[in-house]
Amino acid sequence: MSQKVLIADDAAFMRMMIKDILLSNGYEIAGEANNGLKAVELYKKEKPDIVMMDITMPEMDGITAVKEIRKLDPSAKVVMCSALGQQSMVMEAIQSGAKDFIVKPFQPDRVIEALKKVLG
């Protein structure tokens, strides 16, 4: 059975890019959110297997969203995907419960590598 991914990024273009990579590698899209708040709502509704989460988003940023999602579901699997690749950001994301961190711009392989690693 295909694994379902929730994509959270405020850029439609980036969501499109990630969707293409996922679909051509056999994953299913659980949904798309354009801000952290919607990501949390969609997580509740769709219960995806994993979330690809941007950091810089309006309404609620990605790191806060990870924290909220983990409150709902302590076993939630989230992979951060952001242009902000500073050590402190990565640390904060991981401490908030993210399982991996991909820095933009990324190669498609990196995304698949991260998903395989986290989902097993």
Partner 1 sequence: MDYRKFTELQIDALREVGNIGAGNAATALSQMIQKRIDMSVPEAAILPLEEMIQKIGNEEDMVVAVIIRVFGDAPGNMVFLLTMNSAHELLKMLLDEESEGDLTEMQISALQEIGNILTGAYINSIVKLTGMMLVSSVPAISVDMLYSLMTTAFIESGQFDEYIMSIEAKFIMGKKNIKGYFFYIPKPGSLEKLIQTLGLA
- DSSP class of residue 2? P
Residue of 11, 29, 112, 118 interacting with partner 1 (CB under 8 A): 11
Reading the block at residue 106, the tokens are 């990324």
- Contact window for partner 1 (CB under 8 A) among 45-53, 65-73, 81-89, 112-120: 81-89
DSSP-H helix ranges across the chain: 12-23, 36-46, 62-72, 87-96, 108-119
Q: Considering only residues 1, 26, 74, 105, which one is a binding residue for partner 1 as defined by CB under 8 A?
A: 105
Q: Pick the closest to residue 94 from 58, 65, 59, 66 (CA basis).
A: 66
Angstrom CA distances, 57 to 47, 91, 96, 111, 118, stand at: 21, 19, 17, 20, 23
| Binding status of residue 96 toward partner 1 by CB under 8 A | no
Q: State which of residues 84, 94, 112, 118 lies at the interface with partner 1 (CB under 8 A).
A: 84
Q: Which of these segments, 21-29, 38-46, 53-61, 64-72, binds partner 1 (CB under 8 A)?
A: 53-61
- Least distance in angstroms from the C-beta of 67 to partner 1: 17
Q: Can you give the binding site for partner 1, defined by CB under 8 A?
A: 10-14, 16, 56-58, 82-86, 88-89, 103-105
